[in-house]
Amino acid sequence: MDTKVTKKKLGLKEKYRFLTRDLGWEPSYHTKDEIFPYVNYEGIKVHDWDKWEDPFRLTMDAYWKYQAEKERKFYAIIDAHAQNNGHLNITDARYLSALKIFLQAISPGEYAAHKGFARAGREFPGVGTMVACQMQSIDEIRHAQTQIHAMSNYNKYYNGFHAFADQRDRIWYTSVARSFFDDSMSAGPFEFMIAIGFSFEYVLTNLLFVPFMSGAAYNGDMATVTFGFSAQSDEARHMTLGLECIKFMLEQDPANLPIVQGWIDKWFWRGFRVLGLVSTMMDYMLPKRVMSWREAWNIYGVENGSALFRDLARYGIRAPKGWDDAEKAIDHMSHQFMLGLYQWSFGTSFHSWIPCDEDMDWLSKKYPDTFDKYYRPRWDHIKKLAAAGTPFKNYGLAKLCQTCQLPVVFTEPDDPTMSCHREAEYKGEKYHFCSDGCQDIFANEPEKYIQAWLPMPQLFQEPNNGDLAAWMDWVSLKDGLDNGDYDGSQDQQNFQQWRGMATSNQ
């Protein structure tokens, strides 16, 4: 017969110790180097792993409870969204282009981050680090899933959502986000933490999620607002993990400083290039706009970023090398991108359009020094071509940057009328770049970036050999439905017709 034992409830501190720090052990029949083979080759010196602090002190049991609660709320709202014809409550179906880009390019990035943190959790020897990485890994796969579920309702009614996974791998504009994550996942665990945990989560995530989620709210998209909230509550933990990692490295050994600074320079610039898509979304794709990209940059980039780097200055860290070039690009990048997306819209699984007069007036107000001077004349001409029945399509395809993989739509930092031409030779092959930032990244590790799978040159190789129609099949792009100008698209017609049925007696 069992004797009844009075169970003592564990205090929070004890629980944290048992469920995290005490999970580690000293290996007896393998060396630490054998168990953690990837922790030294990047050159980061660590003397005491126990110095890694976890300010959240979250244990797995509490984590499950919080997350389960969020999931219940999330799916209740997603159900309500589907049952209440949420797909008709958005401001305008143009808004969906932003969502399609997000689903094709960013949600797979969440999945990649999940894989990356699972690996980092295995490769770091410190127990506090392992547990924090595992939780973030589960967060990231949850984000990917909730995003896909939230947007699946739109897939029932609109084009361009149906093949995001193929398009993540094969279409051209997604390769900027994909290569960002592939680059980080093929680096060592410390660089991965700087890439995702610090640069992306800490320096740049506000510029991605805050404008995107408020954009969703402004445009009546409850499904996206909901996954935004559900994910955003994890971000505080993610940002802390990233900042903790950087402080830990810098405090462990002074020799770590130049390595860490190099990674900050690199990953700031790579992240900044990914944000190009966000700038276009904010300035052009939201029918009802929250703020301009310039305004968002001033708040989240200049103010928050400068404060962060002031804080890190005591460790010897300076602002990223590309910081000034980034500032010079802010008033140009969204316009340069949108011009590209419009002229290559035959190859995009979302719609773009010529901004209407009202939109152009808004743009000149928000970009008083650049829009009227450089970009309005181009849009006016494109409008004329469309009116003449010869809409502008650039079938020339584009030169891509070997590092960030974007079409080289960018201009010289000090001359917005001159396309930025940068090239380098490595082992007898020529490589091209969009900027000094991307060329520097290549020059530091050429053997990595020569392997880049650049979608446009690939179109001319096996299996498509330059056949555009075959390429469309291969990327699961339905010509005439998923791509092209919003004006006259099936998405536009359906939205107007269904909305008309919902709001009138026609």
Partner 1 sequence: MALTSIREYIGVPRDLQANFNGKQLVYVSWDHHLLFAAPFLFCVPPQMSFKELVDGPLAALTQPDPDAASVDWAKVEWLKSNQPWTPDFAASLSENGIGHKDQIRFRTPGLNSLRAAA
Please report, as ranges, the residues that interact with partner 1 according to CB under 8 A.
37-38, 41-43, 187-188, 191, 336, 339-340, 343-344, 373-374, 377-378, 381-382, 385, 390, 392, 394-400, 407-409, 411, 416-419, 421, 423, 429-432, 445-448, 450-454, 456-458, 460-462, 465-466
Measured from the CB of residue 341, what is the shortest distance to partner 1 in angstroms?
Answer: 8
The letter for the amino acid at 301 is G
Cis? peptide before 463, omega within 30° of 0: yes
The letter for the amino acid at 60 is M
Residue 38 or 362 having the CB closest to partner 1: 38
Residue 11 or 428 having the CB closest to partner 1: 428
Residue 316 or 457 having the CB closest to partner 1: 457
Smallest CA-to-CA distance from 146 within 59, 233, 274, 236 is with 233
Q: Which two tokens stand for residue 259?
A: 């390595």
Measured from the CB of residue 454, what is the shortest distance to partner 1 in angstroms?
Answer: 6
Measured from the CB of residue 373, what is the shortest distance to partner 1 in angstroms?
Answer: 5
Residue 28 or 451 having the CB closest to partner 1: 451
Q: Is 382 within 8 Å of 392 (Cβ atoms)?
A: yes
Question: Per-residue DSSP letters for 281-340?
Answer: IIIII-SS-SS-HHHHIIIIIIIHHHHHHHHHGGGT----TTHHHHHHHHHHHHHHHHHH
Residue 243 or 401 having the CB closest to partner 1: 401
Measured from the CB of residue 187, what is the shortest distance to partner 1 in angstroms?
Answer: 7
Measured from the CB of residue 238, what is the shortest distance to partner 1 in angstroms?
Answer: 24
Please return the burial class of 390, using the count of CB atoms within 10 Å of its CB with bins 0-12, 13-18 and 19+. exposed
Q: Is 120 within 8 Å of 192 (Cβ atoms)?
A: yes
Measured from the CB of residue 81, what is the shortest distance to partner 1 in angstroms?
Answer: 36
Measured from the CB of residue 344, what is the shortest distance to partner 1 in angstroms?
Answer: 8
Going from the C-alpha of 155 to that of each of 151, 163, 232, 238, 414, the distances in angstroms are: 7, 10, 24, 30, 43
Instruction: Give the side-chain half-sphere CA count within 13 A for 331.
Output: 17
Measured from the CB of residue 472, what is the shortest distance to partner 1 in angstroms?
Answer: 17
Smallest CA-to-CA distance from 197 within 147, 142, 237 is with 237
Q: Is 146 within 8 Å of 133 (Cβ atoms)?
A: no
Residue 356 or 385 having the CB closest to partner 1: 385
Q: Which two tokens stand for residue 162?
A: 């149906």
Residue 23 or 450 having the CB closest to partner 1: 450
Residue 251 or 429 having the CB closest to partner 1: 429
- Which uninterrupted H or E stretch holds 423? strand 422-426
Residue 149 or 448 having the CB closest to partner 1: 448
Strand, helix or coil for residue 457 = helix
Other Cβ atoms within 10 Å of 396 Cβ, number? 8
Measured from the CB of residue 15, what is the shortest distance to partner 1 in angstroms?
Answer: 38
Residue 465 or 493 having the CB closest to partner 1: 465
Smallest CA-to-CA distance from 317 within 242, 265, 271, 273 is with 265
Cα gap 99→267, rounded to integer Å? 25
Residue 300 or 337 having the CB closest to partner 1: 337
Going from the C-alpha of 151 to that of each of 38, 175, 288, 490, the distances in angstroms are: 38, 21, 20, 18
Residue 378 or 478 having the CB closest to partner 1: 378
Measured from the CB of residue 316, what is the shortest distance to partner 1 in angstroms?
Answer: 21
Measured from the CB of residue 28, what is the shortest distance to partner 1 in angstroms?
Answer: 25
Own/partner long-range contacts of 70-78 (Cβ < 8 Å, ≥24 apart) = 70/230, 70/233, 71/142, 71/146, 71/230, 73/230, 74/146, 74/226, 74/227, 74/230, 75/149, 77/222, 77/223, 77/226, 78/149, 78/150, 78/153, 78/223, 78/226
Measured from the CB of residue 471, what is the shortest distance to partner 1 in angstroms?
Answer: 13
